[in-house]
Amino acid sequence: MIPAIRIAGVTKRFRSLQALAGVDLEVAQGEFFGLLGPNGAGKTTLISSLAGLARPDSGTLEVMGHDVVKDYRAARLALGVVPQELVFDPFFSVREMLKIQSGYFGIRNNDDWIDEILHHLDLTGKAGANMRMLSGGMKRRALVAQALVHRPPVIVLDEPTAGVDVELRQGLWQFIRKLNQDGHTIVLTTHYLEEAETLCGRIAMLKAGRVVALDTTANLLQRFASHTLRVSLAEPITLAGPLAGKLLKTEGSTLEFGFDAFDEVADLLAGVRTCGGKVVDMVLGKPDMEQVFVGIMNQN
């Protein structure tokens, strides 16, 4: 099957900044794919290159098998992009804007689908409102609606939940999940790592324009994260022996250990007691994407 997205050897330089330094990536059809990385890692440049908003210096990008430069019409028809910035055209109402966007993609009489999108994004009541009159969260949802007017098989969401409240975020993810279940390929960039962990089946991490990790979410968690035991002690202690090797971080008299199996907890606590520590509080934590992210970024 043709991959939804194929990126090969893509480089892009903005003056002295190497935004993309040879990115290779494939996203299969139907995937919910996460693209993570710190600010300036090249995520938005990569998405812009895919969408034709930026032109790579070298390499090729394809959407559903269509080269984004040579066969840009087919590539853009197959792609829906929710931009990171909260942009809108102040001249038009939500419905006008969606009808215009449909027309840009060659679609006339798109009202039924527009109504459906508005319904799912809880914007039906605002269809006639000017874009300026919408709240930030509504504008964000309107942006999602705009990206969907032409029913693209591949949808890219560039930090879609930045600044969106929890309730709205959950509603948005419910809708995006449904789109994924209906067969749409979703590519998501976000700084909310727990979102990526929950939603994405596979994740790529970018740093300084390179892919530094690419695997399934489960594998990344297994390889780079562990359960944690966080113990607060009455007084700081000095660790010795194998216990020191398990220490992830120290904050004053609070120590955080990593472990893989729960029967290690008893050994860790015994070790702390042996070193003279008196435990006053204790919290167990699951492996999470934040550990993976921090671990990988520090490695590279």
Residues that bind another protein (CB under 8 A): 14, 45, 48, 51-55, 72-74, 76-77, 79, 81, 83, 85, 87-92, 96, 100-108, 146, 150
Please name the residue ranges forming H helices in the chain.
43-51, 72-77, 94-104, 111-120, 136-148, 166-181, 193-199, 217-224, 242-245, 264-274, 289-299
**Which one, 102 or 291, has the nearer CB to another protein?**
102
Q: Are 68 and 16 in contact (CB under 8 A)?
A: no
Radius of gyration of the CA atoms of the chain, in A: 23
**Which one, 85 or 267, has the nearer CB to another protein?**
85
Residue 244 Cβ, how far from another protein at the closest point, in Å?
49
**Which one, 53 or 240, has the nearer CB to another protein?**
53
Residue 166 Cβ, how far from another protein at the closest point, in Å?
26
Residue 176 Cβ, how far from another protein at the closest point, in Å?
18
Please name the residues in contact with 14: beta carbons below 8 A apart, sequence gap of 6 or more.
none
Helix, strand, or coil (residue 259): strand
**For residues 183 and 178, what is the distance between their CA atoms, to the nearest angstrom?**
9
Rounded to the nearest 10 degrees, how much is the dihedral formed by the CA atoms of 180, 182, 185, 188?
Answer: -20
**Which one, 53 or 270, has the nearer CB to another protein?**
53
How far is residue 173 from each of residues 21, 282, 293, measured CA to CA in Å? 31, 33, 22
Residue 83 Cβ, how far from another protein at the closest point, in Å?
6
**Which one, 45 or 217, has the nearer CB to another protein?**
45
Q: Are 82 and 142 in contact (CB under 8 A)?
A: no
**Which one, 51 or 94, has the nearer CB to another protein?**
51
Residue 163 Cβ, how far from another protein at the closest point, in Å?
15
Residue 88 Cβ, how far from another protein at the closest point, in Å?
6
DSSP letter (8 states) at residue 15 = T
